[in-house]
Each structure stands twice: as structure tokens, then as C-alpha cells.
């Protein structure tokens, strides 16, 4: 059998629990036959769902995908605090949460809708003096990270369940990049003075990518998956500027074109559906900020 050649593009994977995002990248490298694979936003080992991978020239678009908003389904447990703000961490406090009412839960989670300052979980990938926060915590250090501005545009309560002294809350969240769902669980528990952590997390969307058509890990290993064309991803991510053949040549040499219709990044795409360059207005001209077409 002749192996499939994957040149440039994107691959959406439905990550399984118990593996890191880097584990998925390693499997994808073997499946795609290239070392040049990156992902748009880490998923914790406990989490499942959408992990967007770019390969070869697709890696150059990942930063724009990473900046997009994301959607999650999650379960919060009230009454138990952990060092990691999720079920994988050591339990540091247990409190009877049975007296907490649905109205209190609605009010506390409702206060997190909108734009506000959120403190990331101490066990996160945020760097402190060049070292990941989770590495510092695992070495025994106490880490309190600086708060950052996040936006939660949607936070719906799907179900509230009660079991003895614990309360479980299923939620659905749409939020900006950099929002920590574990921090939502922690802050909800802290606000209600009973503590809280995350017991389940599934990412259902990253920017325009969902689990629909996503490859499974088994599919990656057995080469049963489909990739996304670079131009199609660019069309779904940016406004499009159609590029004529003479303009393609100019861009391949890094030269500017007449200005785009508006500010912001445009995808310059040829009639043959080839991504030529990303363009941004600078000093009245459309300047290529990333060129994908080679000069001939």
C-alpha cells in the first residue's frame, strides 16, 4: 500500500482521558509522517474532547485558532477542595455542602458571567520565572498566580444532583481563551464557603472546530481519519481576499498589495483555493504577515 502524503493542514482529535496533549501530538506525528505538529490549546489529562492540531504549514495558523473562544461541558463538586482544583489532586478540605440551595448555586455561578478577573489554578501551564506552575506545585512549592481578565459569555446550569454531603453541578460554558474551568469550580466552592473542584471536563468546541468529524485516538493509530485543507481552515477563520495570479507572485516575494477592505488579518486565497498569505493593513498597504506560496 502506498502511504498517504499529508502536506499541510489541520486535524481535529477527540482526546481521550488519561493522556496529555503532548501524547496526542506524538501519535499524530506518526500518523501524519511529520515532526512538525502543534496544537491549539492544551487539554488536561483528565479532560476529553476537541484538540485542534496543525501540521507542517498549518502550525503557522495555530496562534489564531488558540485565540478563539472555546466551549466546555463540566461537572463541579461542592464540598471537597483539592490542591489541583480537580479530582486528580490531593484532597485538602471536606465540608458538608448539603445545606447549599439551588438559588445560591445559581447566584454564585451567575456572578461569573461576563468579563472579570480570574486567578488561574495553581496547577496550570502558566510560567512563573520560566518554570511551569504545575512543576513548582509538584515540587512542594505554594504558588498563587496573578489574576487575568477572562470573558465567560455563556454559563448554563444543566443539572444539580445531591448525594449526602456533596453537591454535583453539570454546567455548559463558552469562554475566552485563557479561562480556567477548574477555577470556576474552585471559585464557586469558595464563594459558597464549602470548597469545590472539577470532576469532569469535556471541550466541545475550539473556535470553529467541534467534535463532529473529529478523529479518535484509535482512528489515528489505524490511519482512519481525515484532515482539513489549509485554505478551508483559513476561510473559516479570517475574512477572505481573493488573490489574482499576478498578486500571488507579488506576495510570494513578500511584496505589499493595495489595502484590504478593513483592518485585521485577511486570508489571501487564489482561485485554485490555495492559501497564499495572511495580509494586514500597514501604512495604507496590505502587508503579508505570513506567506505560504513559494516563488516560482
Answer yes or no: do 148 and 88 share one domain.
yes
Q: Residues with Cβ < 8 Å from 187, sequence gap 6 or more?
A: 112, 118, 119, 196
Residue pointed to by grid coordinates 463532529: 212
168 inside domain: no
CATH number at residue 42: 3.30.2350.10
Could you say which of 14, 44, 86, 187 is catalytic?
A: 44
* Residues spanned by the domain of 26: 9-68+207-231
**Cα(23)–Cα(31) distance, integer angstroms:** 13
Digit-coded pLDDT (tens) for 140-155:
556 667 889 999 999 9
- For the chain, the domain total comes to 3
85 labelled catalytic? no
Answer yes or no: do 64 and 211 share one domain.
yes
Q: Which pTM value belongs to this model?
A: 0.88
129 inside domain: yes
Answer yes or no: do 124 and 188 share one domain.
yes
172 inside domain: no
Answer yes or no: do 56 and 103 share one domain.
no
296 inside domain: no
Digit-coded pLDDT (tens) for 244-292:
999 999 998 889 999 999 999 999 999 999 999 999 999 999 999 999 9
- In 3D space, the residue among 198, 204, 192, 186 whose CA is nearest the CA of residue 73 turns out to be 204
Answer yes or no: do 217 and 246 share one domain.
no
Sheet with 240-242, edge to edge strand ranges:
240-242, 266-269, 275-282, 285-291, 257-258
Tell me: pLDDT of 132 over 60: no
Amino acid at each position: 500500500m502506498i502511504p498517504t502524503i499529508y502536506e499541510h493542514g489541520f486535524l481535529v482529535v477527540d482526546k481521550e482521558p488519561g493522556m496529555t496533549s503532548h501524547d496526542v501530538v506524538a501519535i499524530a506525528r506518526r500518523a501524519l509522517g511529520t515532526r512538525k505538529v502543534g496544537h491549539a490549546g492544551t487539554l488536561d489529562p483528565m479532560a476529553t474532547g476537541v484538540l485542534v492540531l496543525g501540521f507542517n504549514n498549518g502550525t503557522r495558523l495555530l496562534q489564531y485558532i488558540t485565540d478563539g473562544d472555546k466551549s466546555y461541558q463540566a461537572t463541579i463538586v461542592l464540598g471537597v477542595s483539592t490542591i489541583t482544583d480537580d479530582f486528580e489532586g490531593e484532597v485538602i478540605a471536606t465540608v458538608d455542602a448539603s445545606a447549599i440551595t439551588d438559588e445560591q448555586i445559581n447566584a454564585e455561578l451567575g456572578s461569573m458571567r461576563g468579563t472579570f478577573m480570574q486567578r488561574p489554578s495553581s496547577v496550570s501551564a502558566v510560567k512563573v520565572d520560566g518554570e511551569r506552575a504545575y512543576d513548582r506545585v509538584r515540587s512542594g512549592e505554594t504558588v498563587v498566580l496573578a489574576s487575568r481578565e477572562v470573558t465567560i459569555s455563556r454559563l448554563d446550569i444543566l443539572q444539580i444532583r445531591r448525594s449526602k454531603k456533596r453537591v454535583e453541578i453539570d454546567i455548559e460554558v463558552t469562554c475566552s481563551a485563557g479561562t480556567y474551568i477548574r477555577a470556576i469550580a474552585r471559585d464557586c466552592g469558595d464563594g459558597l464557603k464549602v470548597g469545590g473542584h472539577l470532576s469532569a471536563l469535556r471541550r466541545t468546541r475550539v473556535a470553529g472546530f467541534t467534535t463532529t468529524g473529529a478523529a479518535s485516538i484509535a482512528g489515528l493509530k489505524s490511519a482512519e481519519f481525515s484532515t482539513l485543507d489549509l485554505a478551508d481552515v483559513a476561510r473559516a477563520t479570517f475574512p477572505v481576499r481573493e488573490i489574482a495570479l499576478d498578486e500571488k507572485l507579488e506576495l510570494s516575494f513578500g511584496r505589499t498589495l493595495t489595502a484590504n477592505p478593513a483592518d485585521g488579518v485577511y486570508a489571501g486565497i487564489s482561485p485554485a483555493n490555495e492559501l497564499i498569505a495572511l495580509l494586514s493593513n500597514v501604512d495604507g498597504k496590505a502587508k503579508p504577515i505570513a506567506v505560504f506560496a513559494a516563488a516560482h
